[in-house]
Amino acid sequence: MAIQIDGKAISAAVRAEVAAETAALKQEGVTPGLAVIIVGDDPASRVYVNNKKKACAEVGFHSEEFALPADTTEETLLSLIAELNARKDIHGILCQLPLPKGLSDKKVIEAISPQKDVDAFHAENVGHIMIGDYQFLPCTPAGVMELLHRTGVEVEGKRCVVIGRSNIVGKPMAMLLLHENGTVTVCHSRTRDLAAICREADVLVAAVGKPKFVTADMVKPGAAVIDVGMNRDENGKLCGEVDFDAVEPIAGAITPVPGGVGPMTIAMLMKNTLTAAKMQTGK
């Protein structure tokens, strides 16, 4: 029977720490500010943006939302980002992705000042992560590392397998595990003998985008299994990328969906915004 890694409790602890630091920063005349841009009316993006606003209020940040219509031009969007880059009261800028057709995610990411790029997607920040000299980490991989640390899961010397190679989760996740001296394998759609490779993992991270993809025959007894996915099953019920009921009796530790990695992503965004505010104000 696996230990269930409680992302709700751990994210609440992280947010409480951020709130305490924010209160101290406010005593010095600095209120961390986060600008969130949403283009169009994608329902999932709207939910994420609302959750981010709630989290900002909870930790004591100043937050501003910029909701733009789906037919916004690239010029208008880039002009808004330039304005926000110049504002002293905004320390973090986040543009909700994916953008509507006709707008370039890449151009928008590169337009955000690296010092205000609290998603850590800008090429400059990605380079810092690669060499291990970073200020910000992408929120989901950072959240996964926080879960491992606070649950006492050691990475050093362990076999770590990441399923998925996206720029947002898979690649940075592999780097963070490598920085902590894990022996890391990244698997993807072209990987041969995927199940056999996964069975070698002491730490298995599923970030492939397919519901219930990780089955019991892919998991080493006692492994820590981290499920980054958020999907719906055939009955419309929320589920992850791990077949939880089948894997949970085999794993040593496992994250549930919901209530595992999900809450950590926003908690780490709050942490990144606090870091940005301290960097930009020299506090």
The residues that are catalytic are 52, 96, 119
Identify which of 262, 282, 266 has the alpha carbon closest to the alpha carbon of residue 61. Answer: 266
> Phi and psi dihedrals of 144, rounded to 5?
-65, -45
One-letter amino acid at 22 equals T
Residue 12 in tokens: 């609440």
CA–CA separation, 56 vs 63, rounded Å?
Answer: 6
Q: Where are the beta strands (DSSP E) in the chain?
A: 3-4, 33-39, 62-68, 92-95, 159-163, 183-187, 203-206, 224-227, 231-232, 238-239, 253-254
